[in-house]
Amino acid sequence: MANGKFIVFEGIDGAGKSTQIALLKKALEAMGHTVWQTAEPTDLQTGKMLRAALAGKDERSASEMASLFVLDRIAHNKEIEKALAAGKTVICDRYYYSSLAYQGSLCDYEWVRHMNYACPDIRHPDLCVFLDLAPKDAIARITARGEATEIYENEDTLSLFRDTFHRVFATLNDRVAIVNAAPAPEVIAAEVLAAVKEIL
């Protein structure tokens, strides 16, 4: 049995990752693929600690956050490897690109990059889909959802993170599809599926 493919979705908060992941999962299943959908932070203990910090309930430094994400990611990779070995296509909402863009903007970028990119227990994805959206549009979507905001969800911070995402992609050798996340969901989905078909 051939190993499955590992696809990661990235984007600033409000870019529409959840919508596009659901649409891609449906499309791939219709093509006969078995899909395992996952996300970071995980539901493991490290992931719960991260979620508490992201919600503003437990204050942590950027360095602490970066380290916790690496621990959570290493544990997560054990599950990812099992799914891939079983021939499943893995779709993950956020991965090390978020650590480089978010924590890498707030503490030493090269340190965060090395912890993630050079770790032998952290797999490099087959494809990263980056949903690119202007921060003001992202904030409008977040506000429209009416949900509690996380600590990074303001326009200045999202602008910094978006710029850093682009810097990250320019310095890594990973395969990245940058997709305009402003059009209608079905338009975005068609572009995403076209990029994914290139690695299947």
Blockwise average pLDDT, block size 10, the chain, 200 residues: 92 96 98 98 96 92 96 98 98 97 92 97 98 95 80 86 95 96 98 98
SS3 category, 33: coil
| Residues 6 or more apart in contact with residue 137 via CB below 8 angstroms | 14, 182
Cα 91 from Cα 137, distance rounded (Å): 25
Q: What is the pLDDT of residue 1?
A: 66
Q: What is the pLDDT of residue 150?
A: 74
C-alpha angle 188-95-103 in degrees, rounded to nearest 5: 110
Q: What is the pLDDT of residue 153?
A: 79
Q: What is the pLDDT of residue 60?
A: 95
| Strand 89-93 relative to strand 6-10, pairing | parallel
